[in-house]
Amino acid sequence: MERYQDYDNFAWLYDKEWAAYGENIFPALKDIAGDKLPDGSNVLDLCCGTGQLAKGLLEKGYKVTGLDGSAEMIKHARINAPAAEFIVDDARTFELPAKFDAVFSTFDALNHIMTLEELQQAFTRVYQCLKIGGVFIFDLTTKKHFEMHMKEVNIVREKPGYLFTVRGSYNEEAKTGEFHCTIFQPQGDNWKRSDVKLHQTWYPCEDVKSALENAGFSGVKAHTFNEQHELMEVTEDTFRVFFRAEKP
């Protein structure tokens, strides 16, 4: 899909450099899910990226389907978690049968959906594919994160076989953040340069809760974690919010 071209171009680097979040986030998801995630649950990893969370879920005995709009992300995910089922599709428009006990979407993937209308469309698709009583857990970064961290992103990193930079910017009026990644790879006696731009936006918690309820969800709760990985209430200084919603 043309709209995912930048994600396709970025997939191999994402797989190498940003795997840790997906590898380490499951304990937090398990805490939030509580008794809604029994052993052997059928889980959808929405916007699964290169499959690190899917791999971890499989290792813990869950049945896993991963969905992402980027075909290149999915190509890497199939290597990382070969026992999972993977689907190339759009989070806003996908259609799957109501067979999942839980849907996870992590690493602020849904911040890449740029309008509240489209975010609610994604919520509706999730609602439709959950079993009755199923749980939807996802994280979003906040206004505070965009204001404090987005403009500070300035990475320069050299690894065997490639070099990349990442710069961040934030447009306060438009509520949009941009990551501009420049990648250099050896090509013969020269270096090949490629540039990738990824965009995000943030949503007030109340807007997210309303969109979830409009999609049919109930019992919507918002949490964050402190440095000791303990569940905490969300405050105006929270950088990342974990939402939990149930299909009644």
pLDDT in tens, 171-217: 999 999 999 999 999 999 999 999 999 999 999 999 999 999 999 99
Which pLDDT score, from 0 to 100, does residue 2 have?
44
pLDDT by residue (tens digit) across 96-134? 999 999 999 999 999 999 999 999 999 999 999 999 999
pLDDT by residue (tens digit) across 42-82? 999 999 999 999 999 999 999 999 999 999 999 999 999 99
- For the chain, where do the domains classified as CATH 2.20.25.110 start and end? 145-201
- For the chain, where do the domains classified as CATH 3.40.50.150 start and end? 2-141+203-246
pLDDT by residue (tens digit) across 88-102? 999 999 999 999 999
Answer whether residue 235 shows pLDDT above 90: yes
Q: Tokens for 212?
A: 């979830």
Long-range contacts of 60-64 (CB under 8 A, 24+ apart): 60/26
pLDDT by residue (tens digit) across 25-41? 999 999 999 999 999 99
Q: Reading across the β-sheet that carries 100-105, which strands appear in turn? A: 85-88, 63-68, 42-46, 100-105, 130-141, 240-246, 218-225, 231-232
Contact at 8 Å (CB) between 113 and 147? no
**Beta strand 218-225 with 231-232: parallel, antiparallel or unpaired?**
antiparallel
Which pLDDT score, from 0 to 100, does residue 240 have?
97
- Matching CATH number, 145-201, of 3.40.190.150, 2.20.25.110, 3.40.640.10, 1.10.287.1080: 2.20.25.110
Q: Tokens for 41?
A: 């649950």
Which pLDDT score, from 0 to 100, does residue 151 have?
86
Homologous superfamily assigned to 2-141+203-246? Vaccinia Virus protein VP39 (3.40.50.150)
Could you give the CA distance from residue 72 to residue 225 in angstroms, rounded to a whole number?
A: 32
Write the burial class of residue 151 (CB in 10 Å: 0-12 exposed, 13-18 middle, 19+ buried): middle
Q: Which residues of 25-40 are buried (b: 16+ CB within 10 A; e: fewer)?
A: bbebbebbbeebbeee
Which pLDDT score, from 0 to 100, does residue 1 have?
37
Start-to-end CA span in the chain (Å): 34
Answer whether residue 228 shows pLDDT above 80: no
Q: How sure is the predictor about 3, in pLDDT bands with cuts at 50, 70 and 90?
A: confident
Cross-strand partners of 242? 139, 223
Which pLDDT score, from 0 to 100, does residue 71 have?
97
